[in-house]
Amino acid sequence: MRKQKIDYKNYKNATHAVLLFFLVATAAFHISLWGAYGGPKTILINILFGYGVLLQFMLLVPTWIQNAVTFVALTFLLQEYK
């Protein structure tokens, strides 16, 4: 969009931060589901949700819509689990 070159060399710290946050989020999601579904089912749910829902949503939907959906979802969760 801004005619800037995007590669690993220019955004090394951002790339590492995204990978770290993705690993932490995956671990937290896995740990939170472990008690309800057990080991093998939790791994399958994690893979299906991560690649089947989240990745597709991030690739196909513009960022401003992602932000709006996230805001609505987090507001709902905060009210639901208060």
Question: Would you say residue 73 has pLDDT above 80?
Answer: yes
Reported as a single tens digit per residue, the pLDDT across 4-63 is 787 888 889 998 998 999 899 889 999 999 999 988 999 999 999 888 898 899 899 999
Residue 1 is predicted with a pLDDT of 63
Q: What pTM was estimated for this model as a whole?
A: 0.64
User: How many other C-beta atoms lie within 10 A of the C-beta of residue 49?
Assistant: 14
Residue 52 lies in a domain: yes
Residue 6 lies in a domain: no
Residue 10 is predicted with a pLDDT of 83
Domains: count for the chain: 1
Q: Read off the pLDDT of each residue in 74-82 and give the average, rounded to a whole number.
A: 89
Contact 65, 57 (CB under 8 A): no
Contacts of 10 (CB under 8 A, 6+ apart): none
User: How many other C-beta atoms lie within 10 A of the C-beta of residue 55?
Assistant: 11
Residue 2 lies in a domain: no
User: Cα torsion for 17, 15, 54, 45, to the nearest 10°?
Assistant: -70
Residue 5 lies in a domain: no
Residue 4 lies in a domain: no
Contact 45, 33 (CB under 8 A): yes
